[in-house]
Amino acid sequence: MNMVEIITKKKLGGALSPDEIKYFVDGAATGSVPDYQLAALLMAIRLRGMTAEETTALTLAMLKSGDVADLSAIPGIKVDKHSTGGVGDTTTLILAPLVAACGVPVAKMSGRGLGHTGGTLDKLESIPGLSVSLSEKAFVDQVNRIGLAVIGQTGSLAPADKALYALRDVTATVDSLPLIASSIMSKKLASGADAIVLDVKTGSGAIMHTLEGSLELARAMVAIGALAEKPVTAVITGMAQPLGTHVGNALEVKDAIDVLSGRTKGDLLAVSLLLGSHMLTLAGAAKDPAEAEIQLRRALDSGAGLEKLRQMIGAQGGDPRVCDDLSRLPQPAVRRRVTVGRGGYVDAMDTTALGLAAQAMGAGRLRKTDALDYSVGFILPVRIGDRVERDTELCTLCARSEAEADAAERAIRAAITFSEEPPARPKLWEAVVTADGTRMNET
Ligand code: URA
């Protein structure tokens, strides 16, 4: 067996055997297969797809490429949550402290930005001093001490995913159902959680743009969870526009702090409460999501959620004063307010293009080794369905230079369309998928 044969077979649309899958996955984990061959195979998989059997074999091979975290020293049911990736989508920084404040331990391993989507680790690292690299022991100790830790996948967990994820980010091979399902599920099964909530995005800013594609992805991941005997709830949520009003690493930390402080309501809070309520329910802390949401709202209103975030930032070496003084977050060299320039209604957004605009400003990577500028991105207060006038603020750009602000302004203007009639507002969520079936949002 060799890589050229495996690439050729997939290039011609063949199904790879479990042994062939194990061969390249082990090669990715150990570094024995070079990046250029892995990149070629990833593109062949992106173009030719995989059968359900291949996707399961890929997930298991990636899971077995490393260790499985042992969280048994943390009492209670540990529920993890993972998003397929969105723009302005910083639910983890809101729901993890809220769930922990309700007494359910959150031991969460998160990822970096992927393609046009942001990553929780990059956002957390924008907080001065904060480290996302903890040993497994320090991770478990922190959760037992304060109920919450959010770190990067340790090197020994699903190392094949770590290698392939970084390559996919820079080879335009992110949007592949088998690659997404196996990446997420191998990591989540390796992270040692007892149950998993998946946030599967749908719409123009999601990796899967159509509802059918998102449902297929959700069902594939729920089926893998069932094989591994882990309860999985997948919620399909809207990504027709950025979820929060802020896009960019430090900007999204600010958005999360504004939500936890009660200053900002809106879709980001609503989706965080929705996902958090499924986490509390799977953890057995509430009888159903409605009861769970009451607990989460109490933690929000009392300030207990914000206090948990402060504690976590401090425990991981960061400056907890950012929670009370947002000027301690990285600040951009250039700030520019842009107005809409016409009247009408916000009709639609190309949210992937908005994510790519932030990436081009320096908020995401174009090469594996790119360093990020944590301060850059934009604030986009308008929502689909809003009435706007000439002078309404379209966005505030946070950029490294005037030239980059010019380019971002052009990209953002091109990504948003307006109409004379009010369009329907997008739904916050479309469906909930579990091993028992699919419940569509009929509202
Ligand atoms: N998140 C992941 O962890 N992997 C993917 O492939 C997509 C989103």
- What CATH number has the domain bearing residue 41? 1.20.970.10
Confidence at residue 153, expressed as pLDDT on a 0 to 100 scale: 78
Burial of 42 per CB tally in 10 Å (0-12, 13-18, 19+): buried
Query: What percent of the chain stands above pLDDT 90?
Result: 87
Confidence at residue 222, expressed as pLDDT on a 0 to 100 scale: 95
Strand 344-349 with 195-202, pairing: unpaired
Do 284 and 404 lie in one domain? The reply is: no
Q: Looking at the predicted structure, is the pLDDT value of residue 367 above 80?
A: no
Instruction: Give the chain's length.
Output: 443
Point out the catalytic residue in the list 80, 89, 122, 161.
Answer: 161
Do 44 and 83 lie in one domain? The reply is: no
Q: Residue 184 Cα, ligand 1 centroid: separation in angstroms?
A: 5
Q: Looking at the predicted structure, is the pLDDT value of residue 369 above 90?
A: no
Average pLDDT, the chain: 94
82 is an active site residue: yes
Confidence at residue 115, expressed as pLDDT on a 0 to 100 scale: 75
Do 289 and 255 lie in one domain? The reply is: yes
Pair 336, 403: CB distance under 8 Å: no
Ligand 1, atom 6: nearest CA belongs to which residue? 180
pLDDT in tens, 37-79: 999 999 999 999 999 899 999 999 999 999 888 899 999 999 9
Q: Residue 265 Cα, ligand 1 centroid: separation in angstroms?
A: 27
Sheet with 393-399: list strands edge to edge.
Answer: 246-247, 377-379, 393-399, 334-339
Do 215 and 113 lie in one domain? The reply is: yes
Confidence at residue 366, expressed as pLDDT on a 0 to 100 scale: 79
Confidence at residue 118, expressed as pLDDT on a 0 to 100 scale: 76
Over residues 142-155, mean pLDDT: 91
Report yes or no on 259 lying in a domain: yes
Q: In this predicted model, which residue has the larger pLDDT, 366 or 423?
A: 423
Confidence band, pLDDT 50/70/90 cuts, at residue 170: confident
Q: Which helix (H) or strand (E) holds 197?
A: strand 195-202
The domain in which residue 305 lies consists of 79-325+428-440
Query: Measured between alpha carbons, how far is 157 from 177 in angstroms, rounded to an integer?
Result: 22
Q: Looking at the predicted structure, is the pLDDT value of residue 2 above 80?
A: yes
Pair 98, 305: CB distance under 8 Å: yes
Confidence at residue 371, expressed as pLDDT on a 0 to 100 scale: 85
Q: Looking at the predicted structure, is the pLDDT value of residue 368 above 90?
A: no
Do 316 and 335 lie in one domain? The reply is: no
Do 102 and 186 lie in one domain? The reply is: yes
Do 103 and 236 lie in one domain? The reply is: yes
Report yes or no on 68 lying in a domain: no
Q: Looking at the predicted structure, is the pLDDT value of residue 344 above 80?
A: yes
Point out the catalytic residue in the list 176, 183, 186, 191.
Answer: 183
How many other C-beta atoms lie within 10 A of the C-beta of residue 231?
Answer: 16
Number of domains forming the structure of the chain: 3
Query: Measured between alpha carbons, how far is 291 from 289 in angstroms, rounded to an integer?
Result: 6
User: Does the pTM of the predicted model rise above 0.85?
Assistant: yes
Confidence at residue 117, expressed as pLDDT on a 0 to 100 scale: 81
Confidence at residue 112, expressed as pLDDT on a 0 to 100 scale: 80
Instruction: Say which residues have a Cβ less than 8 Å from residue 289's Cβ, sequence separation at least 6.
Output: 274, 277, 278, 280, 281
Do 312 and 348 lie in one domain? The reply is: no
Cα–Cα distance list, 420 to 54, 55, 244, 412 (Å): 48, 46, 25, 20
Atom of ligand 1 nearest to the CA of 179: 6
Confidence band, pLDDT 50/70/90 cuts, at residue 114: confident
